[in-house]
Structure 1
Amino acid sequence: MAIEAVIFDWGGTLTRWHDVDFHAESLALAEAVRRTPTSEDDHHAHAERLHRAGAVVWGRSRDHQQSATIADLFTEAGLDHDPDLLQAYYDFWEPHTLTDPEAGPMLEELRSAGIRVGVLSNTIWPRAWHVGFFERDGVYDLFDGDVYTSEIPWTKPSPLAFRAAMDAVGASDPAACVYVGDRLFDDVWGAQQAGMRAIHVPLSTIPAAQVGHSEGEPDATVTSLAEVPEVVRRLGTT
């Protein structure tokens, strides 16, 4: 069956994998805690509560495919926050958001073959952040649709999340769609449960707590985004 759409994971797929200091992340996130004259003002205590809340929120994503937002993370931590004070958190992550240099030419090659291209990312960040990263790197206009789980009820590997991404790019038959991602649970197993084929990019060091209960057997494996168009052509003949 000819491939009509290729949908990509974001972190570790369209961006290259980075190891992250999650303690430093929590300290940056704690800068957004709203403080009053009578409130607790222990920055490190706030960061620790946010770190524990992050494990809970992402655990719900892994085990129940329940989505969340940054606001939900603060709620889980029992902390009030000011969205206008998230700059330190944004600045912490921004160096890790660079689009792989191979992505642009690869996306252009897929589109020139008449294949629709999309993004489906498990994220708590708002759409505007992701769009801004893609626009900064000059690739946003290469996507036919993009879905961020912070704006839908589900996360990968729920088939409903993959269906939302298919709808975003105008695809109706999962058998004519390919998903590309770095995780054997969220991306490979999830896409296959949704009826899609899956390409694995095995370049990420997935933390043990994020591995999930099942691993899919990818339909193909690539070690470079530049390999994706040829693999998609091959999958379209099988």
Structure 2
Amino acid sequence: MNDNPVLLSVEDVSKEYPDGNVRALDGVSFEITTGEYAAIMGPSGSGKSTLLSILGTLDRPTSGTLTFEGAVVDEKTDLDELRSRAIGFVFQSFYLLPTLTALENIQVPMFGRGMTVAERVAKAHELIEAVGMADRSKHLPKQLSVGQRQRIAIARSLANDPRLLLADEPTGNLDTVTAAGILELFEQLHTEREMTLITVTHSEEVAHAAQRVIRMRDGRIESDQSNLAMN
């Protein structure tokens, strides 16, 4: 944690599913400050992916409060607008459009943002260069390795200059060497762009790369510790 302002917070957040038999989250509370790099860890069923969905406003809590940049996120909030302007997502399965080139995939979130074609292309070139994939700009996803696809997905997540980047098992489909490269890229984004970054993972290696590790079990926070002394 640092002395920067709080970017988002969850207060006593719980999530129950309609059948009433599953409580995925049970009274979770914590804050993330601007520029922080945190990892959320836990075994399958611990609630970490549900928590990430709530942090990214893809799901709503059953009870409790989510606050982003000092404003409560509730039924009055335009969630599409919030996500498009402030939150980037990196998914384990990439979700690249198969008929678009790498450069075109990066531009997808920019549509509807009032940018000209030239501005979109220039921004996409900047981002594909930032993730070390400029020489693959004209390739389709099927022509890229798994690690290359993840890098393009990361570049796409940065298209609208989000204040918060959320990554769900970002190295889950990658071999050890490729995963290490993705973690180096995350550290570069965090350091050079002062990106606020939250990863959800079951990997100790991914968690160790973060400044802070929030460990979950059975829908609750089991521990919340700084990694700075070890890194």
Give the structure-2-normalised TM-score. Answer: 0.29
Which one has the bigger helix percentage?
1
TM-score by length of 1: 0.28
| Higher-strand-fraction structure | 2
